[in-house]
Amino acid sequence: MSILDWRTEVRRWLHPRRNITPELTNSVVAFFECAFENTRCLDRAWFGVHPSGISLVVGGIYLAAIQRSGVDQGVWLLVDQELPKIDGVEYQPVKSTQRSEQPLVWLHSVSLNPVPHLIGVTFLWESFAQASEKILRFPIASDRDTVQKRRKKIRLSELMRESVILYPDEEEESRVFREGLRKTVTVNAYERDQKARDLCIQHYGARCFVCDFSFGEAYGEFAEGFIHVHHLRPLSEIGEEYTVDPVKDLRPVCPNCHAVIHLHRPAFSIEEVRAALAERCSPNAYTSLRSIKRK
């Protein structure tokens, strides 16, 4: 499993559930992205997608999980204390931690419906980050590497080190931005604000702004809602954090068109690539692109 295909596996797992909309599917993917980004024990956490559920675990305990049925059915997220009320969820004690001075709890919902809201609750993910560190003090979090490998889970640190970039917009050596905020990482990549992406797709739809391609129409329901999102203003030209307007600054584009946009520095505009595509009878599309008169 790689940083690319874990998202595909999550989408496939959700596909048989006919009541899952493309928007909710995207939110479930974003839910686990948030869990990955906020986990403070990358070398101890393991992730896997199985017929019964999707789970990020440490030892024998959930950090974040979605289970299809049974007594564990629903959404689970470990937090370090019972938080202010969130619609559609409840809190359950983690029994193995209750004798501690700082007992942990799970946020739980039988339904997936609260997931889109959970993604944007900052205090929730701060609490999750604290819990992912505190849980290591308890025996339940002891290493079970052999068991995790047998269950075909992958260590989160290995998953996060994968060099594949699912949404490769603008890349620059040895630097990474969260919408422009510079920080040091072990791979070259650009992180993206998932909420901004979701709002862009919600406004424009999951259809390429250049060629009109739809993954859902081409591959079926499990791929519905998948699309890259392109920044009209390259982050590499900004150099500092800025507020992204999902409607003004972003556009949905398919991976092919996205790659073509970035064949040139500075990047081609959407209009330029669309014009080149209109001349698709040309024997060499790249030559056609390079011949475009830039402003």
Splitting the chain (295 residues) into consecutive groups of 10 residues, what average pLDDT does each group show? 70 82 89 93 94 95 94 95 90 92 93 92 94 94 91 89 46 38 36 71 91 89 84 66 80 91 83 86 49 48
| DSSP 3-state of 57 | strand
pLDDT score recorded for residue 222: 72
pLDDT score recorded for residue 197: 81
Q: Measure the CA–CA gap between 29 and 64, rounded to whole angstroms.
A: 12
pLDDT score recorded for residue 187: 31
∠ CA 39-194-253, rounded to 5°: 135
pLDDT score recorded for residue 193: 62
Burial zone of 283 (CB within 10 Å; 0-12 exposed, 13-18 middle, 19+ buried): exposed
Q: H-helix or E-strand containing 89?
A: none
Token pair for 81: 């204390």
Look at residues 195, 196, 204, 202 and name the one whose alpha carbon lies nearest to residue 251. Answer: 204
Q: Measure the CA–CA gap between 21 and 89, rounded to whole angstroms.
A: 20
| DSSP 3-state of 164 | coil
Dihedral sign for Cα 28, 168, 219, 196, please: positive
- Asked if 225 and 22 touch (Cβ cutoff 8 Å), the reply is yes
pLDDT score recorded for residue 170: 40
The pTM of this model reads 0.60
pLDDT score recorded for residue 237: 59
pLDDT score recorded for residue 211: 92
pLDDT score recorded for residue 238: 56
The stretches of the chain forming alpha helices (DSSP H) are 5-14, 22-38, 115-119, 122-134, 145-150, 156-161, 194-204, 215-219, 255-261, 270-278, 285-290
